[in-house]
Amino acid sequence: QKEVEQDPGPLSVPEGAIVSLNCTYSNSAFQYFMWYRQYSRKGPELLMYTYSSGNKEDGRFTAQVDKSSKYISLFIRDSQPSDSATYLCAMNWGNNRLAFGKGNQVVVIP
């Protein structure tokens, strides 16, 4: 069993819809939770970063962490075609060694 599980299925949504992505993890030592966005033929870029359980909002993006269930989520409101990318969850326990999920390819259709 991998440390981080992310269902890699592609996701197509119409413009303006809410995108919901999630990951589960098995290592209870993980303390830091991140979402990276990766455009085609580019390196990942950090989108959201949370430390504790709860919600964190940044514009149209909301990250949720539930440590008791070992479950994290990313929500994108009012999705735009420019949000079309692969979204990777990542986490670590403070040594900066990131464990990534497989990524979800999101396509927002105009």
Residues 55-84 that bind other proteins (CB under 8 A): none
Spatial CA neighbour of 98 closest among 106, 88, 108: 88
Residue with tokens 């992310």: 6
The least distance separating other proteins from the CB of residue 6, rounded to whole angstroms, comes to 7
Nearer to other proteins, 16 or 54 (CB): 54
Residues contacting 87, CB < 8 A, separation 6+: 21, 35, 36, 37, 38, 47, 74, 103, 104, 106
Instruction: List binders of other proteins among 25-44 (CB under 8 A).
Output: 31-32, 41-44
Interface with other proteins by CB under 8 A: which residues? 4, 6, 8, 31-32, 41-46, 49, 88, 90, 92, 94-98, 100-103
